[in-house]
Every structure is written in structure tokens, then in C-alpha cells.
Structure 1
Amino acid sequence: MDTAVLPTRLVFTDVDETLINCRSMFDFLDYYMTGRHGATGTARARQIRESLLEQGSRGIPREETNRTYFQAWAGEQAEDVARWGERWFAERSANGSFYLTSTREALIRHQADGAAIALVSGSLPALLDPIARDIRADHVLCTRPEECDGELTGRILGDPVVGSGKAAAVHSTITRYPHLNPAECYAYGDHISDLPMLSAVGHPVVVGSNPDLLARLPSRHRL
């Protein structure tokens, strides 16, 4: 391996409401279902969204609601979802407020210092891949839907990249760079479910003002 191109550190960032100013999974659910299936799709998206919110209000772990979310995509063609994901990104990113400025600028500074960037999210590859391409991220660590003959089955491959799943993805990625020390890596997150990921590195950064997360991490790590 050419040491001249090895990153100086790894920087991991959550995506929804950390890097971008929306909840991509819900936003795209409405966008795709309405655009692809019309009024029937709109009603279906509303039903799914309300069910997921209700599960969350009952304390169902995010790992489980993440699995439930992907079940909603059963029967959709993977190529259609990817194509609509590119369209969603093009439209949303045309808005100057798509990215959270503070996080985006922090990542640019890290890249200027030679860091590799990894997106870490429970969202869909169809949404994360165009974001990664746009910001020149090196890794996309996310929940990945299972496909069969080009059709989404509603199941996922492996575990959800949520909560402890984010920490596992971070650890696995760091091991690919034996010259790096986790204590010198950074992670950005906005929600208490990001705590396992933030705790996996030496420089956790809280984006926003989530009181539960701020209570667990020193205020000096706030962006």
C-alpha cells in the first residue's frame, strides 16, 4: 500500500440532521411513493410513517424500526429506487440549505488535512451514494436492502447501521487502516443513538443541542 495516499485520520459522520438538514428516510419515502405510485403511494407513505412514529413513541428500539422501514420497500425495483434517489438528491441539494453548513465546513477542513470521510447512517444507499459522491466521501456505511432478481425483498443484509451497529461499522472500518489510532479519529452525530459511534473514537463531536447526548459528552465537543 502506498503510504503517500493513506489518510491522516478517519472522520465518521451521521447524515440525517447532522450533515443534511432533513430526515432523508421519511422525506424520500414520501417523495418516491407519491412520485412513483401517485395517490395510492401517498397514502401508503403516510401509513408507514405514522406506524414508525407510533413504534418510536412506544420505545421500540431504532434498530427495530429501521428494519420495519426497509420492509416497506418490498416489491420495489432496486433500479427504480436508485434512479429516484438520484432525482431526490438533485432536487433537494439544489436548495442552499440542504447541507448543515457547520458540519459540511468541518468535513472540508478534515479533507484538507488528509482525512478520509465515512458516512454512517441507517438510511438507504440510494440516498447516501449521491451525497457521498458530492462531498467526496470515501466510505458509505449504511443499512443495505436485500435484493432478489433486481427486486427489493423488504429484508436487510446484516444488521441495521443504527446504535451499536454504527459503532460496529466504525470499528470494522478503522481496522482496514492499521496505521491509524481510533483515539485520533473523529465522529459527528446529533442524536443519543449516535453515542456508540461517538464513543468509538477519540474526538466525538455533538452537532446541535440534543440534551441527552450533551449530557453524556463534554460540551467542548459540541459543533
Structure 2
Amino acid sequence: MTEYLSGGDRPARPTIVFSDVDETLIAVKSMFDFLHYQLVRRHGVAGEEEYERIKAVIRRRVADGAPREDVNRFYYGHYAGEPVETIARLADDWFTEHTASTRGFWIESTRRALRGHRAAGASLVLVSGSFPPLLEPLAREVGAETVLCTRPLIANGRYTGAVDIPVIGEGKRAAVLGHLASRPDVDPRDCHAYGDHVSDLPMLELVGHPVVVGDDDELRTALARHSESVSAR
């Protein structure tokens, strides 16, 4: 498990902690949980049916071997034409309703660890394939300074249905590398990263202190192989 300073001490060198979000910091998959929430709230039974239809298509694509990046783009296509303000309002309601309950939403071990890092003076960065309306409330709650995420394109106050670059897999690596490049005072070997899925491996490999949340054996094995390779150099 990761180590961090306590008692208000400050690290000798600046440090960044990168954290995945879905099933790492929170127990739900934010994109799909919110999609279900907003469709049912706005359209009732018809919304539930639409959600199941979308999920069925995604399951088929995944089963056929579609890259996660393509699935991510497919998901955001369903927001084409939606007013940004409407989605932001619904996202705020989604977050408020989830956090009104004291149990079940947060993965408390990760939340506590991030609080410890922040108390020790580290900068927190959330890294996710989800999008800003869902991630910004989470960032405020845990004190993250930056959100690296998939950003749907906007025109005339509405989502176009297209995205810039999905922040998944190698997209996470690129996003984290870009952030580290903007912080030449930070040594990646001093940094921490949290992830739960093998798609987080490209991000976890970049830091000196990677942490696996949950029980993804494929991720643990791949990360152990990477650590052995680094040690042998």
C-alpha cells in the first residue's frame, strides 16, 4: 500500500498523486450511472428502455473486441444536441443525491489515502474517461487541483456528440505525461497513482508508487512484471 506523510509534515520535494475515478475513488461507473440517472429522470420508462438499448449495444461492441476508446466515443455520441447547462444541472443533482447517503458511493480506502496525501502537501489530479460535469464535483470534494479527462466538444452551448481525445488506456498515459511536462519541478519517481483496471496500467507505469485498488489480477500481474523490468535495469 502507498505511504504518505502525516502530522502536517510537508514532503521534501513536490509530489503529485494521480487517481483514476470509476471503481477506484467511487464505487460506480460514473458515465453509465449518470446516463441511467438522467434518462430515467427525464423520460421515465422510455428512458429506462433507452438506457438498456445503449448498454446492450456497448456490451456487443466490447464482446466483439472494440477498443475502449471507441466505446468511449460511442457513449458521448448520445449527448449530441444536449444543452451543456442542462447536463451540468442534472450532473449536480446526480452528485448531490449520491452523496446525500453516507455509504456506498465512495471507496473509502482511496478517499482516505488521497486525504492523507493532500494533508502531506501533495497535489491531487483526477484522471478519467468520464467528463467534466461528473468529475468536477468529485474533484472539489477531495481537493484535487486538476482534472484530466475526456472532453466532449461543444458548439453554441450544446454538445456535438464528438470528443477530443478519450482519456483511456494510452490516453491516460499521454494526459499524465503532458501534466508532468508542465511540472518540471516534480520527479515522477516521487509520484503516486491509483487505478483499478488493466486499462490504468499505462498511467501506473509512469510513477514510482503505483497502487492497485480492488482485485484485478491482470493489472497486478502486469504491474509486477513492469516493476521487475524497472528493477533489472
Q: TM-score, normalised by structure 2?
A: 0.88
Comparing 43-52 with 177-186, greater Cα deviation is found at 43-52
The whole-number CA distance in structure 1 between the counterparts of 2:13 and 2:159 is 35
The whole-number CA distance in structure 1 between the counterparts of 2:40 and 2:131 is 18
Does the Cα contact within 8 Å between 1:7 and 1:116 map onto a contact in 2?
no
Counterpart of 1:196 (choices 177, 202, 211) is 202
Match of 1:88? Answer: 94
Residue pairs, 1:98-177, within 5 angstroms: 98-157=105-164, 159-177=165-183
Residue pairs, 1:16-95, within 5 angstroms: 16-95=22-101
The whole-number CA distance in structure 2 between the counterparts of 1:95 and 1:149 is 36
Task: In structure 2, give the amino acid aligned to 1:110.
Answer: H
Q: TM-score, normalised by structure 1?
A: 0.92
Task: In structure 1, give the amino acid aligned to 2:100.
Answer: A
Give the drift of 1:216. 1.2
Does the Cα contact within 8 Å between 1:7 and 1:114 map onto a contact in 2?
no
Matched, 1:15 2:9: no
Write out per-residue CA displacement over residues 133-166 of structure 1, whole angstroms, 9 at most, x where no aligned residue.
1111101110011111111110012x10000000
Q: Radius of gyration: which is bigger? A: 2
Write out per-residue CA displacement over residues 77-120 of structure 1, whole angstroms, 9 at most, x where no aligned residue.
11110110010001111222211011001101100111011110
Counterpart of 1:218 (choices 217, 224, 228) is 224
Does the Cα contact within 8 Å between 2:118 and 2:143 map onto a contact in 1?
no
Comparing 187-196 with 87-96, greater Cα deviation is found at 87-96
Comparing 168-177 with 37-46, greater Cα deviation is found at 37-46
Match of 2:230? Answer: none
* % identity of equivalent residues: 47
The whole-number CA distance in structure 2 between the counterparts of 1:7 and 1:174 is 14
Task: Note the aligned Cα RMSD (angstroms).
Answer: 1.8
- Stretches of structure 1 that go unaligned for 5 or more consecutive residues are none
